[in-house]
């Protein structure tokens, strides 16, 4: 069993991109956003995140099957930054959140989510906004079994 904590997450100024598509596109969207950030010399102050706008595991499964997932990726930034096209700079809200840490391949994330949702139910808590996955290390340079993902659920 993984440790689940209640944390007060700060709000962050972020640069992000949001599209409809398949969850498999998260990696390429992060790369696209990274290229934009580098090209425009924007200062990143933390790892990238995926913000999941589907509101239940059933909605996630349906979006995965139909290719209609509401996908948003973002990097926390400091200083000035401007978006272009579907890339925008905005304030990602903070607040009280449940956090669980997943270690291992991304394909095993559903087990971690099940544990998180079970814990939320056992503690009579409900999710009040989009869940976030923060990717602590890079899957291109890190062995799959050593990947670390922090999952935040606003409560």
Dump pLDDT digits (tens) for 110-121.
999 999 999 999
Average pLDDT, the chain: 94
pLDDT of residue 99: 98
pLDDT of residue 55: 83
Contacts of 34 (CB under 8 A, 6+ apart): 48, 75
Tens digits of per-residue pLDDT, 4-29?
999 999 999 999 999 999 999 999 99
Q: Please, which pLDDT band fits residue 57 given cuts at 50, 70 and 90?
A: confident
pTM: 0.92
The helix/strand/coil state of 129 is coil
The answer to whether residues 106 and 58 touch, using CB atoms and an 8 Å cutoff, is: no
Domain boundaries of the chain, sorted by first residue:
4-154
Evaluate whether the domain defined by 4-154 bears CATH number 3.20.80.10: yes
Average confidence (pLDDT) over 128-134: 96
Alpha-carbon gap, residue 150 to 59, rounded angstroms: 21
Q: Please, which pLDDT band fits residue 67 given cuts at 50, 70 and 90?
A: very high
Is the per-residue pLDDT at 37 higher than 90? yes
Average confidence (pLDDT) over 56-76: 92
Query: Crossing angle, helix 109-122 and helix 57-66, to 10 degrees?
Result: 150
Alpha-carbon gap, residue 25 to 23, rounded angstroms: 5
Tens digits of per-residue pLDDT, 81-96?
888 999 999 999 999 9
Is the per-residue pLDDT at 1 higher than 80? no
């Amino acid at each position: 069993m993984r440790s689940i904590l209640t944390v007060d997450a700060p709000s962050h100024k972020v640069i992000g991109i949001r599209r409809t598509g398949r969850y498999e596109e998260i990696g390429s969207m992060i790369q696209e956003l990274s290229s934009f950030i580098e090209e425009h010399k924007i200062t990143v102050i933390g790892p990238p995140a995926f913000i999941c706008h589907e509101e239940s595991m059933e909605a996630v499964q349906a979006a995965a099957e139909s290719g209609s997932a509401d996908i948003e990726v973002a990097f926390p930034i400091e200083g000035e930054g401007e978006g272009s096209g579907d890339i925008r700079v905005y304030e990602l809200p903070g607040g009280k959140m449940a956090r669980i840490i997943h270690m291992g391949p991304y394909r095993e994330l559903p087990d971690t989510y099940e544990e998180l949702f079970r814990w939320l139910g056992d503690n009579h808590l409900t999710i009040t906004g989009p869940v976030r996955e923060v990717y602590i290390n890079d899957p291109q340079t890190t062995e799959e079994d050593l990947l670390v993902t922090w999952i935040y659920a606003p409560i």
